[in-house]
Amino acid sequence: MLKFSANLGFLYPELPLLEEIAAAAAAGFKGVEVMFPYPEPPEKVAEALSARSLTLALFNALPGNWAAGERGLAVLPGRDQDFRASLDKAVEYAVALGCPRVNVMAGVKNFDEPREKTLDRLVDRLGQAADVFAKHNLNALLEHINPYDMPGYFVSTPKEAIAVLERVKRPNAKLQYDIYHAQRTSGELTAFLRDHFSQIEHIQIADNPGRNQPGTGEINYPFIFCELERLGYQGWIGLEYKPTPSAAGSFAWMPGRR
């Protein structure tokens, strides 16, 4: 049976983190994911999760200065110390929260440099992340983000992400496959799942257009879910969408919710 995790920031954007956790539990979820748990001390987040028997499936490493437009540190030149500090902070939270996956955001390339040099830096830093995380039995994930939602993001397609991972060559460096982002750049969703299934550690979903819940757009999610079950997918599927018309109503598409 497929497992669905509530992406807290997307499903409950009006709530602070600890209240988001409570809301997801009240909605019947067993797993959650969060972009950044850092506004709260790890012990408080761990307590909130434990009190509701929730599993934290995923969170992101620190992205740099979000307000200034940074969306990850891994490609940014001159940020070696910041990047290493972000790994240490991610380990602190991952261990405390029992979360085995951390998304290492590549970042936006808004600087003048040959793409190959930026790519080399990303490969090196993702390898560093995988090595640091391996000491704690954690996985370093790489996500692709489409250029319409996040202009300039360095890894915009699933194939680009796979090419990076194949250069990193670490068993705990895996793909965070976002079906919504993939549809906006590449399509061929089921074929990609089949071809790269062993490299996928986490999946996120939303429909297109609109980035709302499955059933509101063009993606045939019942077909994709059947394929994931046929392939034997055991990981979490993160609901990273903007619910409409309400969070409660947006879950009617889920197997077992009808």
State the helix-helix crossing angle for 189-196 and 221-231, rounded to 10 degrees. 10
Residue with tokens 């997307």: 10
Q: Is the pLDDT of residue 27 over 60?
A: yes
Phi-psi map region of 152: left, alpha, beta (phi>0 left; psi -120 to 50 alpha)? left
The residue annotated as part of the active site, out of 20, 33, 70, 143, is: 143
Instruction: Give the pLDDT mean for 104-116.
Output: 97
> Looking at residue 173, what is its pLDDT?
98
User: Which two tokens mark 193?
Assistant: 């799942």
> Looking at residue 137, what is its pLDDT?
98
Instruction: Give the pLDDT mean for 121-127.
Output: 98
Q: Is the pLDDT of residue 257 over 70?
A: no
143 is catalytic: yes
> Looking at residue 245, what is its pLDDT?
81
Eight-class DSSP state of 2: -
The reported pTM is 0.96
pLDDT > 70: what percent of the chain?
97
Instruction: Give the pLDDT mean for 129-148.
Output: 98
Written as one letter, the residue type at 157 is T
Residue with tokens 């950044």: 36
Q: Over the chain, what is the mean pLDDT?
A: 96
Instruction: Give the pLDDT mean for 156-174.
Output: 98
Instruction: Give the pLDDT mean for 11-28.
Output: 97
Q: How far apart are CA 69 and CA 55, in angstroms?
A: 30
Residue bearing the bigger pLDDT, 187 or 255: 187
pLDDT tens-digit series, residues 55-75: 999 999 999 999 999 999 999
Q: How far apart are CA 153 and CA 110, in angstroms?
A: 9
Q: Is the pLDDT of residue 131 over 60?
A: yes
> Looking at residue 8, what is its pLDDT?
98
Residue with tokens 């793409």: 115
> Looking at residue 255, what is its pLDDT?
83
**Closest listed residue to residue 241, CA positions, set 29, 73, 7, 59:** 7
User: Which two tokens mark 3?
Assistant: 């497992």
pLDDT tens-digit series, residues 201-238: 999 999 999 999 999 999 999 999 999 999 999 999 99
SS (H, E, C) 96-141: HHCCCEEECCCCECCCCCCHHHHHHHHHHHHHHHHHHHHCCCCEEE
188 is catalytic: no
What sign results for the dihedral spanned by CA atoms 128, 133, 139, 144?
A: negative
Q: How far apart are CA 164 and CA 160, in angstroms?
A: 6
**Res. 258 pLDDT band, cuts 50 70 90:** very low
CA dihedral 188, 238, 3, 40 (to 10 degrees): 160
**Res. 248 pLDDT band, cuts 50 70 90:** low
**Closest listed residue to residue 10, CA positions, set 20, 25, 22, 18:** 20
Instruction: Give the pLDDT mean for 81-95.
Output: 98
Give me the domains of the chain, ranges plus CATH numbers.
3-251 (3.20.20.150)
**Res. 250 pLDDT band, cuts 50 70 90:** confident
